[in-house]
Amino acid sequence: MAGDHKRLVESIARLTGFKLEDDKLYLLESRLSDIMKNYKLESYDEVCNKLDQGLDTEFIGKVIDQITTHETRFFRDESLYDALVMQIIPEWLERNMLTPFQLKGHRLKIWSSACSTGQEAYSIAMMISEKFPSIFESLEILATDISPATIAKAQNGRYTQFETDRGLPARFREKFFQKLDSGEWQLSDVIRSKVRFQKHNLITDPYPNGFDIILCRNVVIYFPEQIRPAIFDKLKKSLSPDSVLILGSSETLIGYSKNYVIREFGLARYYEFPEKVTFF
């Protein structure tokens, strides 16, 4: 099936923005073989035809789920969460002339973009619940991902022992999770209630707006160079004035934007936009 690799790669890129490089083509066979068998498709060309028709949304969702990367864990890059509660949120309060106990109707709005199975969004909610319980009451977190199956798992808030062992502090597991007979851990309704999950494609869908903090970590790096400026532009427009954009540790705005300020806290790095940003 080597001959129709190119067309399938292009079809997947149109759907997701992800361009599989030659050294990743093995993913097509390893991740799509079961889908092809279940749908009785004998070639990548037939897969392309079904994707391009756009009629079977369940099939499209399964392909997207298999191809896109879902590597995540609780409190990934721990220093970022320290920056959130020790610098980013305190400065948000100061800019808005608020205190943790005098919010004056303000709501802290956070977007966890490309949220995978929800660990990032839930980690934020747990951390704010512990450090700023009064802010937690008015917290709004939107968590989005391109994969319907991933979103469904995230909404469920149920994680295996292996998943909770990866990064989740024991005190949070004891406080916010319940052990089930299946051996899985169920996240509390209190934390789940603060996160609204929604399917979102960073390439094709309109962007929500009005956020104080946006996290878009470890996803833009997988997009072709030529479409990254447009993504950063739309992320900026989704922020409220004087707000914060957090990228992955291997991602940067350098070369894509100006008029931003790079902020650091320990090992964490993020971007503030004190003035209107021009993208090029």
* Tokens standing for residue 228: 């990254």
pLDDT of 279 reads: 44
**Angle (nearest 5°) at CA 66 between 63 and 71:** 145
Q: How confident is the model at residue 70 (pLDDT cuts 50, 70, 90)?
A: low
Whole-number Å distance between alpha carbons of 125 and 226: 34
**Same domain as 267, residue 132:** yes
**Same domain as 122, residue 235:** yes
In a domain, 54, yes or no: yes
| Percent of the chain whose pLDDT exceeds 90 | 57
pLDDT in tens, 169-223: 999 999 999 999 999 999 999 999 999 999 999 988 999 999 999 999 988 877 8
In a domain, 222, yes or no: yes
- Which of these three, 67, 99, 119, is where a domain ends? 67
Give the pTM. 0.83
| Count of structural domains within the chain | 2
- Out of 8-12, 75-79, 169-173, 243-247, least confident range: 8-12
pLDDT in tens, 91-128: 999 999 999 888 988 999 999 998 999 999 999 999 99
**Same domain as 234, residue 146:** yes
* Mean pLDDT for all residues in the chain: 88
pLDDT of 1 reads: 42
* Tokens standing for residue 222: 């997988």
In a domain, 233, yes or no: yes
**Same domain as 58, residue 122:** no
- Which of these three, 67, 89, 123, is where a domain ends? 67
**Same domain as 128, residue 44:** no
**Same domain as 54, residue 14:** yes
**Same domain as 191, residue 55:** no
**Same domain as 20, residue 127:** no
CATH code, 82 = 3.40.50.150
In a domain, 278, yes or no: no
- Which of these three, 44, 67, 90, is where a domain ends? 67
pLDDT of 8 reads: 83
In a domain, 72, yes or no: no
Burial grade of 152 (CB within 10 A; 0-12, 13-18, 19 or more): middle
**Same domain as 238, residue 116:** yes
Whole-number Å distance between alpha carbons of 185 and 269: 32
**Same domain as 167, residue 50:** no
Residue range 262-280: mean pLDDT, rounded: 78
Burial grade of 219 (CB within 10 A; 0-12, 13-18, 19 or more): buried
In a domain, 53, yes or no: yes
- Better-scored residue on pLDDT, 214 or 255: 214
pLDDT in tens, 2-47: 456 778 888 887 777 777 766 667 667 777 888 888 888 888 888 8
pLDDT of 276 reads: 47
**Same domain as 22, residue 117:** no
**Same domain as 130, residue 170:** yes
In a domain, 116, yes or no: yes
- E strand or H helix at 195: strand 195-199
pLDDT in tens, 141-161: 999 998 888 899 999 999 999
pLDDT of 2 reads: 45
Expressed as residue numbers, the domain containing 45 is: 2-67
Q: Is the dihedral of CA 119, 123, 125, 129 positive or negative?
A: positive
Whole-number Å distance between alpha carbons of 269 and 249: 8
Nearest Cα to Cα of residue 216 among 196, 236, 199, 195: 236
In a domain, 277, yes or no: no
